[in-house]
Structure formats: structure tokens, C-alpha cells
Amino acid sequence: MADLPCRQVVEVITSYLEGSLGWRERRRFEKHLRGCDACSRYLEQMRATLDVLGTVPVDTLSPEAQSTLLEAFRDLRH
Ligand SMILES: [Zn+2]
């Protein structure tokens, strides 16, 4: 099973936090987090933000993360 690239972790992070990720993806996600400080920190940030606001404040994210997240949200609405 190939490791998830960081970009894909960012794409599925909202699904992960919503608990809508399949167990297979979830395992790959958590495996990646164990070996990647950047994504671990990102997940903690997202989780804390969701706890406080109940939503992801897109305009506080970096332009890269923003466009990646917007793509993910667009997919979710379909
Ligand atoms: Zn990563």
C-alpha cells in the first residue's frame, strides 16, 4: 500500500474530521500522520478550529491550502 502524499492528506482532512473517511483511507491517513510532523500539526490546527468555530475559516489558510481545500469542498458538494 503506497503512502499518501501530503497534498492528498490535506484533501481528505475534512472528511477525516467529519468521520466520513473509509477505514482503508483512514488507516493510510493515520499512518502518514505518524511519520509527518507537518500534517500532524495541520490536523491539530484544523481540529482545534473546527471545535471552536464548527467550520473551517478558509480565509485564514495559506493560498495553497485554501485552493486545495476549496477543491475538496467542491467535490463534497457534488
Ligand atoms: Zn504529510
What's the CATH code of the domain at 57?
1.10.10
Rounded to the nearest whole angstrom, what is the distance from the C-alpha of residue 75 to the centroid of ligand 1? 21
The pLDDT of residue 77 is: 57
Q: How many A from CA of 65 to the centre of ligand 1?
A: 13
60 found inside a domain = yes
Euclidean distance between CA atoms 41 and 38, whole angstroms = 5
All three cell numbers of 24: 482503508
Distance CA 58, CA 5 (A): 22
Q: How many domains does the chain have?
A: 1
Per-residue pLDDT of 7-56, as tens digits, reads 888 888 888 988 899 999 999 999 999 999 999 998 998 888 877 777 66
Instruction: Give the pTM.
Output: 0.61
Q: Is residue 58 part of a domain?
A: yes
Residue 32 lies in a domain: yes
Position 50 in a domain: yes
CA of 29 to the centre of ligand 1 (A): 9
| Residue given cell 475538496 in the structure block | 72
Question: What residues pack around ion ligand 1 (CB closer than 5 A)?
Answer: 6, 36, 39
Alpha-carbon span 71 to 1, nearest angstrom: 25
What is the domain extent for residue 53? 6-73
pLDDT in tens, 58-75: 556 667 776 776 676 676
1 found inside a domain: no
